[in-house]
Structure 1
Amino acid sequence: MSKTPIVINAPASKSLSHRTLIAASLANGISEVSSILDSDDITRTRGCLTACGAQIDEKDGKLIVTGMESGPKGGNADGKHKDEAPHELFMHESGTTCRLMTAVAAAGHGTFKVHGAQRMHERPMAELVKALGNLGSTFEYAEKEGFLPFVMTSKGYTGKKVEITLEESSQYLSGLLLGAPLADHETVISVVGKKAVSWPYVALTLRIMEDFKAGFTVEVKEGNAWQAVPWRSVKSATPNKIRFVVQPTGYDATDYRVEGDWSNASYFLAAGAVGKRPVLIKGLAADSLQGDRAIMDILSQMGASINVTFEGILVEPSTLRGVNVDMGRCPDLVPTVSVAAAFASTPTTITNVAHLRIKETDRLAACATEVARTQAETEIVEDSLIVRPGRLPKGREVDFTTYGDHRMAMSMSIFELGGIKVGLDNPACVGKSFPGFFDEWKKIVD
Structure 2
Amino acid sequence: MTQLHVDPKQLVPAVLTPPISKSDAQRALVLAHLTGAWPLPVLQEEPEHFLPADVRVLRRGVEALRLPPGPVRDVDCADGGAPFRILVTQAAVTPGARVRLTGTPRLGERPHGPLFESLREALGPSGLVLTEGKPWPVELQAPTRTGEPVFRVPGAQSSQYASSLLLGCAALYLRERRPWRVEIIGPLTSEGYLELTVSWLRRFGFAVQEQEGRYEVTGYRAPERTPSMPGDWSSLGYLLLIAWRTGGGVERADLSSAHPDQALVRLVERAGLATTPGPNDTLRMTGTARDGLLASGKECPDLLPTLAALACVLPRPSTLTDVGILRLKESDRLEGIRTLVAAFGGTTHLEGETLTIHPPASHPPRFSMDSRGDHRLAMVSATLSVLSGVPLSLTGPECVEKSFPGFWQQLERTGVRLTS
TM-score tier, shorter chain, comes to 0.7 to 0.9
Using structure 1 for the length normalisation, give the TM-score.
Answer: 0.82
SS at match of 2:15: strand
Aligned identity (percent) is: 25
Alpha-carbon shift at residue 74 of structure 1 (Å): 5.9
C-alpha contact (below 8 Å) 2:19/2:52 kept by paired residues: no
Matches within 5 A, 1:261-300: 261-273=232-244, 275=245, 277-300=246-269
Partner residue in 1 for 2:302: 332
Partner residue in 2 for 1:66: none
Partner residue in 1 for 2:153: 164
Partner residue in 2 for 1:443: 413
Q: Which amino acid letter does the alignment assign opposite residue 94 of structure 1?
A: G
Decide which of 108, 119, 127 is 2:94's aligned counterpart.
Answer: 108
Alpha-carbon shift at residue 348 of structure 1 (Å): 0.6
Decide which of 218, 223, 227 is 1:247's aligned counterpart.
Answer: 218
Alpha-carbon shift at residue 49 of structure 1 (Å): 0.6
Matches within 5 A, 1:159-238: 159-183=148-172, 184=176, 185-193=178-186, 195-218=187-210, 220=211
C-alpha contact (below 8 Å) 1:112/1:152 kept by paired residues: yes
Matches within 5 A, 1:415-430: 415-417=384-386, 418-430=388-400
C-alpha contact (below 8 Å) 1:374/1:392 kept by paired residues: no
C-alpha contact (below 8 Å) 2:21/2:233 kept by paired residues: yes
Decide which of 309, 326, 333 is 1:363's aligned counterpart.
Answer: 333
Partner residue in 2 for 1:117: 104
Q: Which amino acid letter does the alignment assign opposite residue 11 of structure 1?
A: P
C-alpha contact (below 8 Å) 1:28/1:251 kept by paired residues: no
Higher relative contact order (CA 8 A, sep 6+): 2
Cα 1:302–1:148 change in 2 (3 A) is farther
Partner residue in 2 for 1:323: 293
SS at match of 2:279: coil
Partner residue in 1 for 2:347: 377
Alpha-carbon shift at residue 271 of structure 1 (Å): 2.1
Alpha-carbon shift at residue 368 of structure 1 (Å): 0.8
Q: Which amino acid letter does the alignment assign opposite residue 88 of structure 2?
A: T
Cα 1:315–1:5 change in 2 (3 A) is farther
C-alpha contact (below 8 Å) 1:405/1:429 kept by paired residues: yes
C-alpha contact (below 8 Å) 2:363/2:390 kept by paired residues: yes
SS at match of 2:398: helix
Distance in 1 between residues matched to 2:270 and 2:194, nearest whole Å: 26
SS at match of 2:405: coil
1:308 matched to 2:277? The reply is: yes
Give aligned pairs, total: 389
SS at match of 1:88: strand
Alpha-carbon shift at residue 359 of structure 1 (Å): 0.4
Distance in 2 between residues matched to 1:436 and 1:5, nearest whole Å: 18
Partner residue in 1 for 2:313: 343
Q: Which amino acid letter does the alignment assign opposite residue 182 of structure 2?
A: I
Deviations 1:45-87 (A, max 9, x none): 0110111116xxxxxxxxxxxxxxxxxx665xxxxxxxx4x21
Cα 1:29–1:271 change in 2 (3 A) is closer
1:135 matched to 2:148? The reply is: no
C-alpha contact (below 8 Å) 1:30/1:253 kept by paired residues: no
Alpha-carbon shift at residue 182 of structure 1 (Å): 2.3
C-alpha contact (below 8 Å) 2:243/2:250 kept by paired residues: no
- Name stretches of at least 5 consecutive residues in structure 1 with no aligned partner: 55-72, 76-83, 221-240
Greater shift in the superposed pair: 31-40 or 312-321: 31-40
Distance in 2 between residues matched to 1:201 and 1:376, nearest whole Å: 31
C-alpha contact (below 8 Å) 2:297/2:325 kept by paired residues: no
C-alpha contact (below 8 Å) 1:28/1:253 kept by paired residues: no
Alpha-carbon shift at residue 29 of structure 1 (Å): 5.3
Matches within 5 A, 1:406-417: 406-417=375-386
C-alpha contact (below 8 Å) 1:376/1:390 kept by paired residues: yes
Distance in 1 between residues matched to 2:284 and 2:32, nearest whole Å: 34
Partner residue in 2 for 1:393: 363
C-alpha contact (below 8 Å) 2:14/2:249 kept by paired residues: yes
Distance in 2 between residues matched to 1:26 and 1:10, nearest whole Å: 27
C-alpha contact (below 8 Å) 2:369/2:394 kept by paired residues: yes
Q: Give the aligned CA root-mean-square deviation in angstroms.
A: 2.2
Distance in 2 between residues matched to 1:159 and 1:138, nearest whole Å: 17
Deviations 1:384-417 (A, max 9, x none): 2211011343432x21010101011111102223
Alpha-carbon shift at residue 254 of structure 1 (Å): 5.1
C-alpha contact (below 8 Å) 1:10/1:282 kept by paired residues: yes
Matches within 5 A, 1:54-133: 75=70, 84=71, 86-109=72-95, 110-133=97-120
Alpha-carbon shift at residue 419 of structure 1 (Å): 2.5
Decide which of 66, 69, 73 is 1:53's aligned counterpart.
Answer: 66
C-alpha contact (below 8 Å) 2:378/2:396 kept by paired residues: yes
- Name stretches of at least 5 consecutive residues in structure 2 with no aligned partner: 1-10
Distance in 2 between residues matched to 1:251 and 1:351, nearest whole Å: 41
Q: Which amino acid letter does the alignment assign opposite residue 314 of structure 1?
A: R
Partner residue in 1 for 2:6: none
Deviations 1:268-301 (A, max 9, x none): 212234x2x3231111111211110011111111
Distance in 2 between residues matched to 1:104 and 1:383, nearest whole Å: 34
> Larger helix proportion, structure 1 or 2?
2
C-alpha contact (below 8 Å) 2:204/2:226 kept by paired residues: no
